[in-house]
A and B are shown apart, each in its own frame.
Chain A
Amino acid sequence: AQSVTQLDSQVPVFEEAPVELRCNYSSSVSVYLFWYVQYPNQGLQLLLKYLSGSTLVKGINGFEAEFNKSQTSFHLRKPSVHISDTAEYFCAVTRFQGAQKLVFGQGTRLTINP
């Protein structure tokens, strides 16, 4: 079975500062990895995904994530955040083959302060 751990439940940063949201996963098989964002009172939107190929994945709104197989991590980064990035962010994993269900981490609440 797969599992995901998001290492920070809350991350406060100042506007225009860089941010990293950490995600580690556990799986005995190859996986696909995803980051989703949930703005207040909304559903989840896909930010980016890693399927194969380059380990640096670029997503929407200036976010990027790097897949590190040896460390089983998929950390999300943005070099300069805006107030509008205030949201909850979820890391998720699904196995490469077989019955595929997304397994989510606990979420990280990103708060941007002016």
Chain B
Amino acid sequence: DADVTQTPRNRITKTGKRIMLECSQTKGHDRMYWYRQDPGLGLRLIYYSFDVKDINKGEISDGYSVSRQAQAKFSLSLESAIPNQTALYFCATSEEQGYGYTFGSGTRLTVV
């Protein structure tokens, strides 16, 4: 099994729908992150969590919310999806500083 698992891998949804992207990890890391990738923009941070009781906004959190259900699980929700949220979404985990991140395989979300 992958260290960081994202579900679903692909999703097409309609404008205005609520959608949840899920992430689970077996690395035992406290720190978890959600990024979105857009062509030419690299990866931008949506939300991050340094432990179960800690949730922080990233640079592009508007229109998104998260839930840290356990050390191993970190979900991203789009409350009312809009077409410009069409992107590739990555979950990542890390140990404490300096060790780099472990990424999931991504969720490709299309909002029509």
Neighbour of B45 across the interface among A34, A44, A45, A101, CB < 8 A: A101
Please, how many residues of chain B have a CB less than 8 angstroms from a CB on the other chain? 24
> Are B40 and A32 touching (Cβ within 8 A)?
no
Q: In the assembly, what is the distance between CA of A105 and CA of B90, in Å?
A: 15
Tell me whether A14 is interfacial, beta carbon within 8 Å.
no
Q: In the assembly, what is the distance between CA of A66 and CA of B35, in Å?
A: 27
Contacts between chains A and B (CB distance < 8 A), count = 56
Q: In the assembly, what is the distance between CA of A107 and CA of B38, in Å?
A: 10
Complex contacts, A94 vs chain B, CB 8 Å: 97-98
B88 CB to nearest chain A CB (Å): 9
Place the interface of chain A in its size category: 20 to 34
A34-B42 contact given A42-B105, A43-B106, A101-B48, CB 8 Å threshold: no
Q: In the assembly, what is the distance between CA of A49 and CA of B4, in Å?
A: 20
**CB contact list, B1-44 vs A, under 8 A:** 4, 33, 35, 40-44
Complex contacts, B97 vs chain A, CB 8 Å: 32, 94, 96-97, 100
Complex contacts, B40 vs chain A, CB 8 Å: 9, 106-107
- The proximity string for B residues 64-101 relative to A, scoring 1 for CB distances below 8 Å and 0 otherwise, is 00000000000000000000000000101010011011
> Are A46 and B100 touching (Cβ within 8 A)?
yes
Query: Which of B's residues lie within 8 Å of A, judged by CB?
Result: 4, 33, 35, 40-45, 48, 50, 56, 58, 90, 92, 94, 97-98, 100-101, 103-106
Query: Which of A's residues lie within 8 Å of B, judged by CB?
Result: 4, 6, 9, 32, 34, 36, 42-46, 49, 51, 90, 94, 96-97, 99-107
